[in-house]
Amino acid sequence: MPDTTAPGGRRGPVAARRHQEHFFAETDETGLGAVDAVDDSGAPSSMWSEAWRKLRRRPIFWVSAVIIVVVCAVAAFPQLFTSIGAHGGCDLANSHGAPRAGHPFGFDRQGCDIYTRTIYGARASVTVGVLATAAVVLVGSFVGAIAGYFGGWFDTILSRVTDIFFAVPLVLAAIVIMQVFTDRNALMVAVVLASFGWPNIARITRGAVLSVKNNDFITAARALGSGRLAILARHVMPNAAAPIIVYATVALGVFIVAEATLSFLGIGLPTSVVSWGGDISKAQDSIRSNAEILFYPAGGLAVTVLGFMMMGDAVRDALDPKLRER
């Protein structure tokens, strides 16, 4: 074996490498399988559970929820908030009376308790809003779903009919139709508003159905032999419901405003029914001398609409995938 010792007694490069100490890392006992494992023991997160998780973290949701719950409670059980009759115990001796114990808002021109009329006014407005919204969701969702899912001449005819109704302004149409009737009530006002308010939700539903019906799970359901109506009801509509819910929340506030507008003009609910729009109309005569008479029913209307609008914004942000990470 040749000598690898360099002149002067030093080892050469080959010998140095042979006697070099080597260090080895300790064996990882964890293993890649355990590191890369995913905990799938829990139930899969759905769109609705994810939306609820987002909503719970938003203060605007809780503020709007409190407003809506209070307004609905006042509308459903007004007698819990005042002991006076629905019309405010009118007495001309109290005309334009100042606030006092038991009458925190004072009295209007006819001597009616403003606080009581504001409380009972919520019932008419909320009732019309809920009935109109329910009718709009049923009619608009049905028309939009049929047009979007079946397509063809269904889509052509229904889309043209929708365009015709969409071209007619909601409030203007309601003003014209309501003048025909003399015996008006909350149900009639809701039906008239819904008759011209459904095109918006029909368009929204049609677009949502078009974006869902070609997904893979729809193709799989069709391959398994499910009928077209069954697929539409069980698979398409549940996955297209998010924009419908968002619009319905906002539309409820819109219909409350529409009812107040009709009552303000004197062609909505009759004067025998206490409503915010009617009280705002009556307060016009006293706006210069007693402006607060106008502020109370107008404030109740504004807060109610604000609550539903805020709820609609919160629900939209939670259900819209493009806005979830914002």
What domains sit in the chain, N to C, each tagged with a CATH number?
48-319 (1.10.3720.10)
Query: Distance of CA 183 to CAs 187, 189, 256, 264, 272, Å?
Result: 11, 11, 20, 17, 11
pTM, two decimals, is 0.78
pLDDT digits (tens), the chain, 326 positions: 555 555 555 555 555 555 556 555 555 555 555 545 555 555 555 666 777 788 788 888 899 999 999 999 999 998 888 877 777 677 777 777 787 887 788 888 788 888 888 999 899 889 999 999 999 999 999 999 998 888 888 888 988 998 898 888 888 899 999 888 878 888 999 999 999 999 999 999 998 888 888 888 888 888 888 788 888 888 888 888 888 888 898 899 899 999 999 999 888 888 888 889 888 888 887 777 777 888 889 999 999 999 999 998 888 888 765 554 44
SS3 category, 11: strand
- What pLDDT, on the 0 to 100 scale, is given for residue 133? 93
Closest CA to 117 of 93, 88, 137: 88
The span from the CA of 228 to the CA of 179, in Å, is 43
Neighbours of 200 (CB within 10 A): 19
